Structure 1
Amino acid sequence: MSVLSPAASSSSSADPFQLERLAEELATRELSHPAQSYPQDGSSHDLPIYTPLSHENPFLSAEKFDVEAFLLSRSHTSLQDLRAELRDYLATLKEELVKLINDDYEAFISLSTDLKGEGERLTGLKQPLGALKSEISLSKTELRAIQDEIMLKLEQRTVIREEKALLHLLLKISESVTRLESLLSITNPSQDEEPVEYEQFKVSATSNTTENNNERSPANKAKHLNRAAAEYTQLLYHASKARSENCAFVDEIQWKIDRIQSSLSSDLDALFASTLSAIAGDAKLSELEKNKILPDLTECIRTYDVLGLWRDAEEILRSEVMRPFIKKTVFTGALSAPHSPLLPHTPFRSSMGSGFSNSSSSMPPRTPFTPFTAFSTQQSAFPSSLGKTKSPYSRLLDDSDDPLARLYTQILRFVERDFSSIMDVAEKVSVKSRSSTDPFQIDTAENGRKRDGLGFDIMANVIWNELGKAIMDDLGGFVFASGRPDEFRKNYEITQAFIRSLEFMAPSAQSVQSMRAHPVYSMFEKRWQLPVYFQMRWKEIVSKVEDALALPVEPSGKPPGTADSLVTPQATSVWVALTACWSAEIYIPELSHRFWRLTLQLLSRYRVWLNDVVQDTNYGSLNSVNTINTGKVSEANTRSPTPGLSERPSLEAFSADESLLLRYVSLIADIKTLQFSTMNLWQEEICIMLPEPDELDGDGKSLDALENAVDAISALLRPMSSTVIAVLTERCIVPLNAVKKIRTDLRAKANKQLPTEPHPWITSVLRPLKVFFGLSGKDGIGAVLKTEYLDPWSKQIFENVCEKYISHVSTLKKAEESLRRLKRGPKNTTFSLFGSASPRDVEGRDEERIRVQLILDVEALRKDAETLGIIPGDSEAFVVLSNLVQSNDPPETS
């Protein structure tokens, strides 16, 4: 590392570090600033820490030596001392370098000595490498040839092993064929016979099998066939594997396999048919013997399941058991023919099926319309391990007076007696077969015997297939009587109860699903022309409602009865129609959406009719009274009375008003009753009968639709109430006409004392309102509305009466003021009508008497209003009236 500055390169020989120059500059600086060397306050500097030069010094170990930075870091040292220190450090470095060379010199010298002659040695090592490489290549070629030969031998052994396995497989097939022929007692034909004579083998095999079966005991027949079926499935499995290898041997013995299958199937069918005959009661066997045959029945069903011949077993059940019974029971005149009692093997079980829990959750929801609400699969069938309960629909079939119910009951008893045990056994076998993984089951289906589904389906393919076709073909004209709605609904109810009871006898939920998915079931459901039935019911219901709505609203001449009874025939017909839609005699669950729409349509039709009735009613004083109701009441109200509001004294007008009141009260009472009854009908019946929310618009939306329909009808209460208030207001303001005669009557009296009693006609002002609500001791027209409408109507009518009273008093004051000014002349001083007058002034006394009389009349009106529950202080018009009669100021002229 160089410690020389680049600027001093020219004088490096004389003074390489320019120490002389630096010393001179330092001395000059100290002489020019002597005061800065020592502090002013006389305190001394701390002595610097002396750090000797070493390898750890950062300035010496830096990549580029900085002379100025190094000198500044040693500014406390003089140049002479620094030079001496650097020379000492240089001597130290030289000494360490010499020591380092001395330590590694011996190794350096020995290294150069050891490398002598290594070149010739390396050259000698390269000479044998070529020969060694050629030998290795030759060995590699030989090894590859040996490997190819070994792989060829292994492939040949693999082929031989596969051929050997195939031969063993063919031997197994041959042994299985021989064993099955021995088990089934099949006689082998001579070698010169051709295998085309298959029918002869089949006949001979069948005869030999029959003879052999006669020699065996009945208890061993089923087990023997089950063993043969197991062997046959293995044969099919081995044959399928050999056929996948394109083995011609399998094709040559295929006729034997077919013969074995035919013999096994025929023997199994014969045994199963004989077992069914014994179980069904055709054979003359005791119950003990029949119970001994049940294991044979189980073995036969298990054998059918192993062979995959489920539909063959179901065909035997149809032909041997179900079809004969259907022919004897369900025919064209079956409903009119007497039914012979069906004797069960054992006392008839209380359950209508097996596999249903007795919990409340399994029972259908209680509804007042019908006991056969369509169940979901989970509700109509349950696992057989849950026990046995009675079908909730069986009570509908206990009606001995109905021939169709008796027929269905006989069918259910037959199915219960002859098929319940068979369905239970078949279901257990199918469940066990599905739970186990049998490798031969798929190959059995590949043998040309593959069916539409896996497992037994006796309820759908045997019972309902025969029964549904028989009912549609032989009894369809009576059962599906769509032109006779009453009979149609009764038959539909009984038939649905029969189907649900039949579903309760199903061994599993899957059986119920299969039954409902069966083509015969779909065809059977389509035969029920439910839209036609609804159209007939719709016409029947709507025609009665329309006939009632076409009648005029004729009041009966007497007030309505209680609040929970309908008065008008129109409301009664609408309510009857509403209840008819959900009654047990008409309602069908599958038509719930249609009956729900009809319910809303009936309410809408009644609303339209009410609207027409309200619009057709022309009451001349209605607008005038409404003007009074909506006008702003003020102390300066000087409106003139309406001519038509108080001038209807004729008997014809009174009779017309009475008829109008009776009509509107009846309509209002019917609307309130219909509103309450409709919502109550929803809570008790409709919400229960409607389908689930996801099947219709949703329970909340349905309720909203009903509430909107009811609210639309209730909206018509306001115009009818306004009309009733108008009529009652007109009757109440008639006595107020006497206010005009107060001035004449008081002036004509000889007694000039101040009056002390109100006029008798004051009690007649609110009397029509009391008579209307029946508060006067007699039954009034509006007595039925007293609870709900007495308070609001009384307040409104009292407000209208006060408005009219204000008008009369204002007119009276104006007349008195005009008369007073006329009599006084221009020279008289200003005089108030009701102001304090001089005792000598007669006119003043008359005016005071009029004012006192008005005050007494208004006070009497207030007390009479309080008897109706009215608070006069809350009435703005009464407050204005009270202030007006007590005021001494004349009314302002508008």
Structure 2
Amino acid sequence: MASLVATLPSPSSAPRSASDFFSDPYESHPSWFKPSLFLSPGFDSESYISELRTFVPFDTLRSQLRSHLASLNRELVDHINRDYADFVNLSTKLVDIDAAVVRMRAPLLELREKINGFRGSVEAALFALRNGLHQRSDAASVREVLELLLNTFHVVSKVEKLIKVLPSTPSDWRNEDDNSLGRNSMNDEIPTQQDGTTMRETQSMLLERIASEMNRLKFYVAHAQNLPFIENMEKTIQSASVLLDASLGHCFIDGLNNSDTSVLYNCLRAYAAIDNAKNAEEIFRTTIVAPFVHKIIAHETSADAAGTSGDELENDYKQIKHFIAKDCKMLLEISSTDKSGLHVFNFIANSILKEVLSAIQRAKPGAFSPGRPTEFLKNYKASLDFLAHLEGYCPSRSDVTKFRAQAICTEFMKQWNVGVYFSLRFQEIAGGLDSALTSASLVFIQDYDSDKPISRNLMLRQSVSLLESLQSCWKEDVLVFSAADKFLRLTLQLLSRYCNWVSSVMNTRKSNANPSPGCEWAVSATAEDFIYIIHDVNCLVSEVRGDYVGHISHYLSSCSSEVLDVVRKSMLQGGESLENVLPLVTETIIEVIVDKSVEDLRQLRGIIATFMMPNKPLPVRHSPYVIGLLSPLKAFLEGDKARHYLTHETREELLLGTVTEISRRYYELAAELVSEVRIIDNY
């Protein structure tokens, strides 16, 4: 105690309070140092120091920790001094502690021995239980494998017995006699009628049963792989599978040739049981579909060689449709029977469409060529109609989706390169307009048929070419519905090209720069020439916003209302872009008339000479130039072209604009002359 008391601080070295005004309090710490973290249960000194060292120097950290340690020591001493009496009494109260510990230790040791003994017995029982469970699991696994092998053996034996009663060829089914039927060891399971149709149905039922057993056998083999017993039976199983496929194929072909619904139904269920739908689809393709399709295509090809027709497919598709309705409908209906389990077959795609595509690729590859756009589009639309006809045999919408997702259907659609077709049409349509707009002169339509809507109102060949190009984009023998967005974009591009041509012509007239191709005529054009442009632009705006939009909407009627609204707005914007070029044409006409009118204003300078002449009487009549100042404007507005092709509003606009510009020119020239006269008077 004396040593502890000796360590107590003297009054002079007492810790400073937190309110000491002359130094920092002991409790103050940097913001990065948080002593409360030392009391957390998961505190780790190494991670804490490594984290702080990333932004605090080591010396600073060590100094701060030492300072905190000194603070803790002082706090400990304060606690001892505050409760010193209790601390001293603690040692006096601890009397005979060792004896109490000895008395408590004996029952604790006894309890420990009992617990250890009980734990040993529990562990032994647990080990025995686990060992028994493991043995039981092994026994169950062995039993399961044994049962699997036994089931496999029984199924193989059953399949072999069933196969023995199968005739090798369809002809044997009709020629079997009583002796062959006597070979049947399962007379209680297989009918023994000698009628050909009955025998065929009996064999199909037998094949369906064998297929069901083969399906079970595949299941057993899949769960008993790498076992010697199964490996020894692989050849037997493979031989049985090959024989089943051959016999099932013969039976399926015979059922197709004889249109036996029961046989076909049984064979399809057998194919579905052994998961071999592709084989049935291939047999139907090669046996029924291929001979007829080859006959049609070969006949058409020989006719092509004689020069009677091209690579058209429409007639071929008509005959194929008739063939499907006559010779394929029965099988298609059987395979699409509701709740029959035959949904795995897709004869429409993998038999019919596959053979049709193969025959076209082999005999008529030119049908897929977009190099002849008219024939290509006709074949493409006929092909889409043929696909729609095939989809009509799908019993539900999900089956239609499944048909479209088939690889052969995707391959069939890939043959039609619509992108190349559109590129050719683009060059054809846009090229025709571009050649008309790059003409060095303004081409007028002299003789035209009033019955044709294109030629009835428009006066310039350039405008007629635009309208013809616009209408070509949406003709039935040009438009491809799947590329309607591209044709809409081409339509807007044609309108933009025409607007740019009009703008370029007007700018060439104003700037007198080197004209670009198609604008050469603007340099020498008269005001009457621009009347035709205003007239044609107004007619084009009326056409685009009227019947043309309705024509497009009719072709896109199957689209949603949102799509139709976007198309309608796009075309209205195209008409607006045409309207936006009208002010440029109007300004050009005004400029041409003003330039011709102000030529007489040059006589205004003669006033100065007359004013300077001595003994000149005062003027009592108007100047001679006044009479002809508005003559060009009057002649223009009263001309037949302006009265016939310009609206009243347009003529009023031209009148106001021209008079305003002439007045401005007159004012500028008069102001200049007055200024000159004043300078002369000052001298």
Tell me the alpha carbon deviations over residues 285-310 of structure 1, each in whole angstroms, 9 at most, x when there is no partner: xxxxxxxx323322221221122111
**Do the aligned partners of residues 413 and 203 (structure 1) sit closer, same or farther apart at CA in structure 2, a change above 3 Å counting?**
closer
Q: Distance in 2 between matches of 1:530 and 1:250?
A: 55
The count of residues paired between Structure 1 and Structure 2 equals 532
Q: Distance in 1 between matches of 2:154 and 2:384?
A: 56
Deviation at 1:553, TM superposition (A): 3.9
Match of 1:497 in 2: 385
Q: Distance in 1 between matches of 2:237 and 2:672?
A: 124
Q: Distance in 1 between matches of 2:219 and 2:376?
A: 55
Mapping 1:537-556, distance limit 5 Å? 537-554=425-442
- Does 1:469 pair with 2:332? no
Match of 2:374 in 1: 486
Q: Distance in 2 between matches of 1:547 and 1:274?
A: 66
Query: Match of 1:176, as an amino acid?
Result: V
Q: Distance in 2 between matches of 1:669 and 1:215?
A: 93
- Does 1:426 pair with 2:292? no
- Does 1:267 pair with 2:159? no
Indicate which of 494, 498, 505 corresponds to 1:606.
498
- Does 1:409 pair with 2:318? yes
Deviation at 1:516, TM superposition (A): 4.5
Q: Distance in 1 between matches of 2:483 and 2:468?
A: 19
Tell me the alpha carbon deviations over residues 268-327 of structure 1, each in whole angstroms, 9 at most, x when there is no partner: 222221111122xxxxxxxxxxxxx32332222122112211111112111221122222
Match of 1:721 in 2: 586
Deviation at 1:510, TM superposition (A): 5.2
Match of 2:98 in 1: none
Task: Tell whether the 8 Å contact from 1:427 to 1:507 is kept in structure 2 after alignment.
Answer: yes
Query: Match of 1:492, as an amino acid?
Result: Y
Task: Tell whether the 8 Å contact from 1:559 to 1:779 is kept in structure 2 after alignment.
Answer: no
Match of 2:206 in 1: 224
Query: Match of 1:606, as an amino acid?
Result: Y
Deviation at 1:509, TM superposition (A): 4.7
Query: Match of 2:381, as an amino acid?
Result: E
Mapping 1:854-893, distance limit 5 Å? none
Aligned-residue RMSD, C-alpha: 5.7
Q: Distance in 1 between matches of 2:132 and 2:435?
A: 104
Match of 2:161 in 1: 182
Query: Match of 2:499, as an amino acid?
Result: R
Query: Match of 1:786, as an amino acid?
Result: T
Match of 1:575 in 2: 467
Mapping 1:231-380, distance limit 5 Å? 231-241=213-223, 243=224, 247-279=227-259, 293-331=260-298, 333-334=300-301, 336=303
Mapping 1:113-152, distance limit 5 Å? none
Task: Tell whether the 8 Å contact from 1:225 to 1:268 is kept in structure 2 after alignment.
Answer: yes
Task: Tell whether the 8 Å contact from 2:170 to 2:251 is kept in structure 1 after alignment.
Answer: no
Task: Tell whether the 8 Å contact from 2:170 to 2:250 is kept in structure 1 after alignment.
Answer: no
Q: Distance in 2 between matches of 1:661 and 1:134?
A: 125
**Do the aligned partners of residues 207 and 162 (structure 1) sit closer, same or farther apart at CA in structure 2, a change above 3 Å counting?**
farther
Q: Distance in 2 between matches of 1:175 and 1:228?
A: 13
Deviation at 1:183, TM superposition (A): 3.2
Match of 1:794 in 2: 655
Task: Tell whether the 8 Å contact from 1:559 to 1:781 is kept in structure 2 after alignment.
Answer: no
**If the length of structure 2 is used for normalisation, what is the TM-score?**
0.61
**Do the aligned partners of residues 327 and 780 (structure 1) sit closer, same or farther apart at CA in structure 2, a change above 3 Å counting?**
closer
Match of 2:51 in 1: none
Task: Tell whether the 8 Å contact from 2:503 to 2:581 is kept in structure 1 after alignment.
Answer: yes
Q: Distance in 2 between matches of 1:599 and 1:158?
A: 77
Q: Distance in 2 between matches of 1:522 and 1:147?
A: 64
Q: Distance in 2 between matches of 1:312 and 1:806?
A: 97
Task: Tell whether the 8 Å contact from 1:619 to 1:723 is kept in structure 2 after alignment.
Answer: no
Indicate which of 662, 666, 669 corresponds to 2:532.
666
Task: Tell whether the 8 Å contact from 2:249 to 2:280 is kept in structure 1 after alignment.
Answer: yes
| SS across alignment from 1:269 | helix
Q: Distance in 2 between matches of 1:799 and 1:406?
A: 70
Query: Match of 1:265, as an amino acid?
Result: D
Q: Considering fraction of residues, name the structure with more helix.
A: 2
The percentage of aligned residue pairs carrying the same residue is 23
**Do the aligned partners of residues 559 and 619 (structure 1) sit closer, same or farther apart at CA in structure 2, a change above 3 Å counting?**
farther
Task: Tell whether the 8 Å contact from 1:489 to 1:586 is kept in structure 2 after alignment.
Answer: yes
Match of 1:388 in 2: none
The structure whose RCO (Cα within 8 Å, separation 6+) is larger is: 1
**If the length of structure 1 is used for normalisation, what is the TM-score?**
0.48
Q: Distance in 1 between matches of 2:499 and 2:574?
A: 8
Deviation at 1:410, TM superposition (A): 0.5
Segments of structure 2 that go 5 or more residues without pairing to the other structure are: 1-102, 182-189, 513-521, 611-615
Tell me the alpha carbon deviations over residues 783-818 of structure 1, each in whole angstroms, 9 at most, x when there is no partner: 32224313323333454566689899999999xxx9
**Do the aligned partners of residues 798 and 220 (structure 1) sit closer, same or farther apart at CA in structure 2, a change above 3 Å counting?**
same
Task: Tell whether the 8 Å contact from 2:503 to 2:584 is kept in structure 1 after alignment.
Answer: no
**Do the aligned partners of residues 487 and 401 (structure 1) sit closer, same or farther apart at CA in structure 2, a change above 3 Å counting?**
closer
Q: Distance in 1 between matches of 2:113 and 2:256?
A: 89
Deviation at 1:665, TM superposition (A): 0.6
Match of 1:684 in 2: 550
Mapping 1:80-91, distance limit 5 Å? none
Bigger Rg, which one: 1
| SS across alignment from 1:308 | coil
Query: Match of 1:235, as an amino acid?
Result: L
Deviation at 1:474, TM superposition (A): 0.6
**Do the aligned partners of residues 732 and 203 (structure 1) sit closer, same or farther apart at CA in structure 2, a change above 3 Å counting?**
closer
**Do the aligned partners of residues 516 and 332 (structure 1) sit closer, same or farther apart at CA in structure 2, a change above 3 Å counting?**
farther
| SS across alignment from 1:336 | helix
Q: Distance in 2 between matches of 1:660 and 1:133?
A: 124
Task: Tell whether the 8 Å contact from 1:459 to 1:511 is kept in structure 2 after alignment.
Answer: no
Deviation at 1:692, TM superposition (A): 11
| SS across alignment from 2:646 | helix
- Does 1:458 pair with 2:324? no
